[in-house]
Structure 1
Amino acid sequence: MKPKFYPFYVSALVALLLLPSILSALADEILYEDNFSNLDPSWGTPGERLSANEGKLTLKPAPNTTQSILNQSNVFEDADIRVEVVVPAGDANVPGGLIFWAKDHSNFYCLCINAAGYFKISRYVTDRWLQPVGWVENEAINKGIGQVNKLRVVTKGRQATAYINDKQVTTFNGQAPQGGGCVGVSGGSPENVQNTWQFAKLQVIALPGTSASSPAPTAQPSPPTVDPQRSPSPPQQPVGRVALRLHGSNTIGKELVPALCEEFLKYEGATSVERKPRQKENETDVEAVLPSESAEPLTFEVQAHGSKTAFEDLATGKCDIGMASRQITSDEAGQCALAGLGDMFSPACEIVLGLDGIAVFVNKSNPINELTKQQIADIFSGRTTDWSQVGGNPGPINLYAGDDKSGTFDTFKSLVLNSRPLSPRALRFENSAKLSDEVAADANGIGFAGMAFVRGNKALAVSEAGAGALLPTPFTVATTHYPLSRRLFLYIPANPKNEWTQKFVGFVLSELGGPSKLTPTGFFARKFVESALTKLEVFSWWTSGSEVAALNALFDNYKKLYPGVGVINATVAGGGGSAARPILQTRLAVGNPPDTWQSHPGWELLSQYVEPNYCEPVTDLYQSAGWDKIIPKPLIEMLTKDGKTYAVLTGVHHGNVLWYNKKLLDQNGIKVGEKITFDEFFAACDKLKAAGISALGVGDSGIWASAQLFENTLLGVVGPEGWTDLFSGKMKWDDPKVKQAMQYFAKMQDYLNPDHASLTWDQAVEEVMRGKVAFTSMGDWADGEFIKAGMKEQEDFGWVNHPGTDGSFIIVADGFTLAKGAPHKDATSAWLKSIGSKEAQEAFNPLKGSIPARTDVDKSKFDSYHQWSMKEFASDKLLPSCVHGEAAPPAFQEALNEAITSFMRDKNTDKLATALVQAAGKAGPAAVGMLDFEGQTIKVENPDVPPRAPRQYVKEVSGAAKLSLYFHFRAGTSQLDDNALGELNRLVELLANPTYQRRALLLLGFSDSAGRAGKNIALSKERAKAVADQLQMRGITPSLVNGFGKEMPLASNNTAEGREKNRRVEVWLR
């Protein structure tokens, strides 16, 4: 199910994060309770899916979502938290329960149960669910729909103890929020069904001062040993015969080998291939039907419990292939020989799968960037216990390590710890992915695992005595220069009895090996492995019926072009992105971005995401694909800053459209022509109102829909010139024309559907379809809903420009970004290239209601509405939307929503005008136009050397070629600017090309004219050295590093912009 969050009262949440108000009390005192006689505002806004009455809080999550809400008005440290829960209706297998240790909507724990008799402890971190305690059946649970269960969690420090119906069911260690956390409740619905959840008697009680938990319950069984799993009910064991068994290393077996099994079975001609996680963690079945073998499915069994188990299971006949991230020991080889498997050190038995590096990583917020092997050994042996001892911020060092069966741990002991024991304070994990996720959630954490498991953390550069620090990269591992490089192995019997063994090994070596895939050192084709494992994360708020269909069309096109890449569809429900944006902003702020996310061009994209350096330019895509010639320049300008373009558009919506139920209007004698005036519109509304029909439908449970109605009405009065004047500051928000628009908007409130406050935008469109409402003023995403419902154009429904807006086109464009530091950058670039293609835009836009951003599409593939909209786009004045973040800064957009919310209550036009005047004054005038773009592809050039160039400079660049990129620096320092990381990555990618690997790399630094000549020379050399240090950490050593001070400026030193350009390092190849 897709998690769905409702970040109510965001201002209160921000205040809590900045200034936590911790409740303290005497032991056993009730710190907080809610009898749910009504809905306290701290829980959110009442509606169809959230309500409180008669002592119960009721949640009704939408199908295929999980609804989690927090009480954000109180924060608790150690406490005893209790609630009663019941599922009066719905699916018994779906989980819900009590939220605790909640930092915010992006980080919390939940004691979950289902009506089938199972419980688990879940943790939601930013964008994914983790399972500290997996599903366990427990007799304490009252099974069945309608049965009440009492949930209780006692927290003390990092420990939490869970009780169900007064019986202790588990105790575990977790990550309690610093300064305390909120409480809340959660409930889910399965696909196609809506569950009802009810909660009662919520209490938070202070703990006794001398006890870590509440008084002992009547029964206290030992905490059970549990195995996390992915689904809300225990999966069934496979029914197919097991054809091949692969046991051992978690590094290899967690993702790589299952992916290889899938590819192998497809290669063998499988008609269906499915990966099925087992109930036990780190065990997976890859099931397939091979018509050449049998009509019944066969299974490849993968158990990834550590390298040690590879040799144990080989010797006892429990597996066919052993997976290991270290070489077999003599004792282990002896046991296998006794079992008749042959010489496990021989080439017939020991297959080198490739090279890997053990990455040592920390939380991204940790300022430490590198450590020596000696420092790492001191940390993990317990000799060093505080980050300040290695140059970091003061704080305890929390250790995370693999368990004793892990080959990664064995290698780490050999390469780092030597004879020292691991500190007993270390938390141990069998699952490398879980280990990594725990470090990502712990600001003081440090762990180690294979390179593929760095995930949301920061890998450290590692150094040995007398050598520079190196990051674990394909460069450094392939050359074995990285100190923690290692080989990965498969082990098989000398004479395998299972015919699948040799077939699979041969396939794997052909996929990962061979002259085209191996370097001389045997480094395997990492890009193949990454493509097999990649799960591209696409973040959006497209969850209505037509939006889902359109998004799936983009996914289908992408998967067709790039079949080796999976997609994580990270959608968050909420029209206009009202719920998604706060979650996205939190992820970006903590350095955990999705690969790509939905954004509107203009102010939203450029100020919220480009300005803070959250995304990278994609200008090269526009040039290489020729999009700059087939996408209208005004659209590209809305995506562009400082000559760089930052998103790829999927389509362009027409924001100012008035939709109507044609049959309903015909029944009431109302005709709509090619355009409509305000007088004609209000006359039609009066006629409908007299007939007892709601004339105008709005779904403003998210206020943006009413704000859009106001936006369209405002344009209808002030016109396109007035629109531009408003958002450039020439026209004031209390201008008589603006007030006239406000009066029209106030008059429209008399015709609204009575349930508008509880509906979403698509539900309001549905009321138009059903004939309950006649009109709705909405962007043409509404067209997608009409078409998906099977309604016919100009027969069931019609459209016209909103009153007064004929000749104007409010642009509401949708695009996707490339995240700075995208976890899967290559896959993301491929995604962006695919969605900009002609095929994708022709598939997506008819379903979404928008028109393609490209002008070269086959118009015959589009219906009447789309062809009308295309003509309007070509002839109308194009204007950016304020409501959707294109025309004004976020601060003004937020102020507009607040002002409209207030206006919906009091209908006071003077108050509305005053609020917008004040907001515009704070935000400042907004420039609608943007600069054009320039290319970003690195080029190898042979420029003429300036005649006044220093003699040494001329000598050093003689015979060299210059690269078309610069590294820039902050004034007076050798600190690289915010764009440097992207430039470094691009340079490293270029130098990976065999064409350039044997050429000498030259780095030449320069300064502006500020300061003395001697200081500038020294500073320019320091800047060149700073770039050299960064490249050396990535396995690349420059041949020459020098500096020339203020010589050869690129621009005038009389301006700040010119001085910024002159503070640079040039890159040459000889």
Structure 2
Amino acid sequence: MKITLSKIKLYTVIVLLLLVQAVNATAGEILYEDNFSRLDPSWGSSNEQVSVKDGKLIVKPATSTTQSVLNQANVFDNADISIEVSMPAGDTNVAGGLIFWANDYTNFYCLCIDASGRFKVSRFVADRWLQPVEWVENNAIKKGIGQVNILRVVTKAREATAYINGQQVTTFSGQPPQGGGCIGVCGGSAHSGENTWQFGDLRVVAIKASTALSTEPAAQASPAAAETSQPTADTAPTPLPAKQPVSGMALRLHGSNTIGKELIPALCEEFFKYEGATSVQRKPRQKEDETDVEAVLPKVSSNRTTFEVEAHGSKMAFEDLAAGKCDICMASRQIKEDEARRCTLAGLGDMFSPACQIVLGLDGVAVFVNKSNPINALTKKQLADIFSGRVTDWSQVGGSPGPIDLYAGDDGSDDFDTFKSLVLGGMPLSSKASSYENSAKLSDEVATDTNGIGFAGMTFVRGCKSLAVSEAGKDALLPTPFTVTTGRYLLSRRFFLYIPADPHNEWARNFVDFAVSELGGSSNLTPSGFFARKFVEATTTKLEVFSWWTSGGEAAALDALFDCYKKHYPGVGVINATVAGGSGSAARPVLQTRLAVGNPPDTWQSHPGWELLGQYVEPNYCEPVTDLYKSDGWNTAFPRALIDMISNAGQIYAVLTGVHRGNVLWYNKKLLERNGIKVGDKMTFDEFFAACDKLKAAGIAALGVGDSGIWASAQLFENTLLGVIGPQGWADLFNGKMKWDDPRVEQAMQYFAKMQNYINPDHASLTWDEAVKELIDGKVAFTSMGDWADGEFIKAGMKENEDFGWVSSPETDGCFIIVADGFTLAKGAPHKEATIAWLKTIGSKEAQEAFNSLKGSIPARTDLDKSKFDAYHQWSMSEFAKDKLLPSCVHGEAAPASFLDLLNNAVTAFVVDRNVQNFAGALAQAAEKTGPETVTMPDFGGQAIKLENPEIPPNAPNRYSNAVIGAERLSVDLQFRAGTFQLDDVALQVLNRLAELLANPIYQERKLLVFGFSDSTGNARRNLALSKSRANAVAEQLHIRGLKPSFVGGFGKQLAIASNDTEEGREKNRRVEIWLR
């Protein structure tokens, strides 16, 4: 068919008209949608990794890979794209999401989320991932396995705005393909196993080219959105337009030797390659620290293009920038006011603005000595005295005698400027110091001088030894990635690139964009040894804290710990890796899997006792933190009884955040008052069941339970069991002396069965905190739950003793079931320094007060001001000090995990059939099946000390009998080595616990009596003297611990409590008794 010119014109007009009509018709209309009822061929063919089922596109990436799936049959320009995303199985820290602006599988953008509540925007180019927006936590994201999130991206020209569940989270500039891009999805899998991703309800809606993004639905940006909005330097740069003249000297970069000697020339080479250059060469000039980087850009010119790099210091570079002698200033310090003023007067703009001042990275000025020098640390004052010449011999700072040889950067170097500002202050550098422009040469000189000391950027330590630096009285710190990025290292500094606000040379802005983007790769250290800005930004989400604190009160308390941490370590953020499920019922299996495959979080939540020591310490999953207790004085701040719960073989393995009481019965005070029920200071089972009967008759569910995770019912049974068998029975049950089919245990089971008649009918569908919410709402009257429930009352604004009240679980008064929480240090923690900083934070007074006041628990430390806490906390603190302390079975402290699993199974069955015999038999078999583990209960210390009223023998000495009238004896066992008044190690530990107990104000008005006794070996005079010496030895130890006895005496071999005919009996008689009157 022949087409005439007129026809061509006609077809052209028709096509243009159709295009106009199409634009007008599709603006605001659906361009594409897919409900995934089948796999559209545009997504490719079905395979093991990609399939469709039940209206979902399912992606299953292989381990350690990211699977991307593009719809290459459709291309969109300005568009509103949305899709539903969920991850029903896999690692919560792996990313997946919505692909947009895709050219092909080698070039696309992706809005990614993970199941731990974070998002980012990634760009895949060739073989690498760039991060226009780094990982950021955002409350808009629904966290957890299986949660569905709606991702939405609105693109217009080069700008994209991202929304998650209707909330705007970030806007950024990028490089969309010319003429529009494809869309798609992606999902990743961890190296420990495969993830499953599901995508649904994909929709693409056209927007008008003239529609501004500000006209999008008024979803207010979250705080995270503000944090992630980056200047254009954060995105990959746009290649220069062809019309830009490029031949000859195209770009001049002057400044710091630290970044100009190696890093900037390397970046120049990479930039040329990015622009498609060939024949890239680096040519050093004759003058030291000057280099030309040359290349040919075939698409632009056949002539060579040159970038000039001169590294003579920031000071000279700022002068050159103001004078128009350079295009970019490379600085290892911030511009000074007078330098900025000269640049502004030269028409370069506000040099402190983001357009002019670009942070490239961070560094620390290292102070180093010869490797043979015994000195490892110096204070800032000592350094100032050394480099000013006030101290001239190493012996003056604790080293070996010998003169100190000084090596320093010259007065034009940035290292010297930094050192002078941070260390010397107003003092001049000693005239005896040797000055160097080249930091590498300076370091090499120190490496060969046994008396030498110098300073330079971290990368120039080379063959020397870095010194830790401190302020007087504070920890000395080495320059490391953590100490530098957090600013904790005293000689930390930042590196900058400075350009005019509106540079006439287009190379300047494009090079800066490229430099910042290029330094966002996988390497944390640049070729010059400092930490790239993008790496530092990435580290703000590097510390992973694993826990199961997800309820309202728990999350608020955990956030308080995060706030304390970020306050003191602002350069490091936190990945809040939570897995919902009370008592860690869902979290622990996830954690065990990660530990088993060598993928641990940095730190994780653990209960002490069997859970910590058996599941994590014994398999060598965590490292000891004993040194923290020594360095921070925690051995006296934390009760010995608690430290024993987290110790093994003399090493401590966790830092406790707080101590919960497990056996608390909470009640809605107003609901009980309306039904004529009054609760006193204690409650018996008869009183409890009478109240339940009255409530049931009124049509009210008396007892609220949320046992969708069965542990809540198991805890109700645990509290009931303690009420029947008492503290001694509790100890006997878990050390094997009492059997699980004992009549007393069966009595507790009968009470537990009776309680099922009064619980809320929806108990099986509720979590523990939802059951507490029913009490808050007045739907149930009681709930038996640990005092983490108090955190929910606090979060809901409930008033103590007005809206709600509490009492010990029926017949458990005088007993305190410990449910403590702590955090570990993972063996080989990915970010060990940050983790140690986390542990130091949570063990501090500040964090313990902030956390526990919201959580419902009492501080693990005993040196906090109790008046700062509410009435419940003060009551719990008082009970903790005087009650018998008992480990919880349900929370992994009194028995191993193998027994706990069988207990939960037995409770699940019992809630259904209420068969006492079957329940008792199942637990008896469980105790036998788990073997000898269950008969060795950890030593919890405090509960062993109680007040007794023994009968006084008629043959007791008068002085003894008169002294103990109205007194009670403390059940402490203080033993001595034979023939001496030297206390053994166990006795010293008992005295530590005793001192903690007697520190309680309720004992302050009582008198302390100390009586010493001996065995019958030796003559009477010697025995009497020995018994007095033993009493005095104990009195002295008590005095050291702040306790002063009012009576100290010895009674020789009198009042023997065992036969002196055996060594065992004689050992018992060598004792000291302590009484309170």
TM-score, length of structure 1 as denominator length:
0.48
TM-score, length of structure 2 as denominator length:
0.48
Structure index of larger Rg: 2
